[in-house]
Structure 1
Amino acid sequence: MMLTISPVAFNLGGLSVKWYGVIMACAIILAVSMAIVEGRKRQIASDDFLDLLLWAVPLGYLGARLYYVIFEWPYYAQHPDQIIAIWNGGIAIYGGLLAGLVVLLVFCYKRMLPPFLMLDVITPGVMAAQIIGRWGNFFNQEAHGGPTTQAFLQGLHLPAFIIDQMKIGGVYYQPTFLYESCFNLLGLVIILALRHKKHLFKQGEVFMLYLAWYAVVRFFVEGLRTDSLYLSGTIRVSQMLSLVLLVAVIALFVYRRMVVKPKWYLDGSGLKYPYTRD
C-alpha cells in the first residue's frame, strides 16, 4: 500500500505547522549545540554562539531569499507582492551560507574573536544542519531530480516510505535530497574523525575542507535537479558557484600555507576571555 506523507506535522488551532519548519528548528538547535561543545574546548564562551545565532538565522534566511529572488527576477519583477511571500517557498542554501558568513565575520570583528577559528568550530554543526534540513525537502516533495522508475529506486535499496514519497503526480523522481544528505553525512564523518588530529589542520582549514566537499557534492547533485536557478538559460547558478568556491578554497589553502602560516587548529594556547585582538 502506497503512503504519501503530509508536509503538515500538526495543527495548532488554525495554524498548520509543517515538517519543514520542525526539521529546520531541530537542525538549528543541533548546530548550535555542537558548536557550544566544541567551543568549550577552544575557550570560546557559549554566549558567543547564542548571540551569533540571533543574528545569523534571520539574516541567513533573508540572504537565502534574496539570492533566490535575484536569480528569479523576471518572475518577481512581474509579481513584486510575492517577494516577501517566503511561505510559498523559494530559498537557496548558497544565499543563506553567504549571508551567514558575512554575519559571522562582522560578529567576530565586534567580539574580537578569530574568525577562522570560529568557522572551524561551527562547521560540523552547519554540516549536520544541512544533512537534517534536506529532509524538509523530502516532506515537501521538492528539490528532487528528474523522472525515474520504481525499479530504479528499489534497486538503490531505499525504504518503501522514501520510494512512495518520490512518486509525485503519478511519476517517480530521483531523491536528490537524499543523495546530498548522504554525501554530506560522509563528509561530516570524515571531518569529525580528522579535526582533532594534531598538526593536520591549520585554523580555517576544517571550514575550507567543508566548502570544498560541499562544492563537489552540490555540483554533481545540482546536475540532477529539476528546479535549478539558471544564468543565460543553460548555466546552473549553483554549479557555477560550486566551481568558483572550489577554486577559491584551493587557492586560499595554498596561499595561507605558504605565506600566512596560521596557527594550528589545536593550538594549545587557547583564548582568554574577555577576548582581545592581537
Structure 2
Amino acid sequence: MLLAFIPSPSIGEVHLGPLPLRGYSLMLILGIAAAVWLGGRRWAARGGEKTVVADIAAWAVPFGVVGARLYHVITSGELYFGKGGDPVKALFIWDGGIGIWGAIAGGAVGAWIGC
C-alpha cells in the first residue's frame, strides 16, 4: 500500500488568467483525449477511418456533461428545488455537482446520435 502514503495536493486548482483549471477537470479532459486518440488508432487498425472516433466523441462528450449534471440535479433536487433552494443554480455546473451514471447515459445517447 505504498500509494496510501502519497499525500493529497494542497491545492485543487490552478488559475489560467481569470479561468480556474481544477485538477479533476484536467484529468477528465486528459482521459477523453487519450480515449479518442487510442480509440482512433484501434479503429483504424481494424480498417475503419481514424476520424470516426473523434466525430462520435464530439457528440458523446457534450451529451455526457449534460447528462452528468442532470443526474446530479435529479438526485439532489432538494438543493435546487427544496425549501431555500434556487432553481437557477441547477444551471451552474461550475459550482460542482456531476454524476457518473448521468455521464454514461448521456454519453451513450450522444454516441448513438453520432453514429
Q: TM-score, normalised by structure 2?
A: 0.81
Match of 1:99 in 2: 106
SS in 1 for 2:58: helix
Unaligned runs of 5+ in 2: 1-6
Query: Per-residue CA shift, 1:198-221, capped at 9, x if unaligned?
Result: xxxxxxxxxxxxxxxxxxxxxxxx
1:36 to 2:40 alignment = yes
Structure 1 stretches of at least 4 aligned residues deviating more than 4 Å after TM superposition: none
CA RMSD in angstroms, aligned pairs only: 1.7
2:11 aligned residue (6, 15, 34): 6
Query: Per the alignment, do residues 3 and 107 of structure 1 end up closer, same or farther by CA in structure 2, a change over 3 Å counting?
Result: closer
CA contact (8 A) 2:12 2:22 kept: yes
Give the number of the structure with larger relative contact order, counting CA–CA contacts within 8 Å between residues 6 or more apart: 2
Match of 1:54 in 2: 58
Query: What does 1:192-231 correspond to in 2, within 5 Å?
Result: none
Match of 2:71 in 1: 67
CA–CA distance in structure 2, aligned partners of residues 88 and 29 of structure 1: 24
CA–CA distance in structure 1, aligned partners of residues 8 and 47 of structure 2: 49
Q: Which amino acid aligns with 2:10?
A: I
Q: Which amino acid aligns with 1:20?
A: Y
Task: Give 1:106 shift.
Answer: 2.6
> Whose helix proportion is higher, 1 or 2?
2
Query: Per the alignment, do residues 73 and 48 of structure 1 end up closer, same or farther by CA in structure 2, a change over 3 Å counting?
Result: same
CA–CA distance in structure 1, aligned partners of residues 36 and 88 of structure 2: 34
Indicate the percent of aligned positions where both proteins have the same amino acid: 31
Query: Per-residue CA shift, 1:54-112, capped at 9, x if unaligned?
Result: 1111111000100111111122113112101111111001111111112222322xxxx
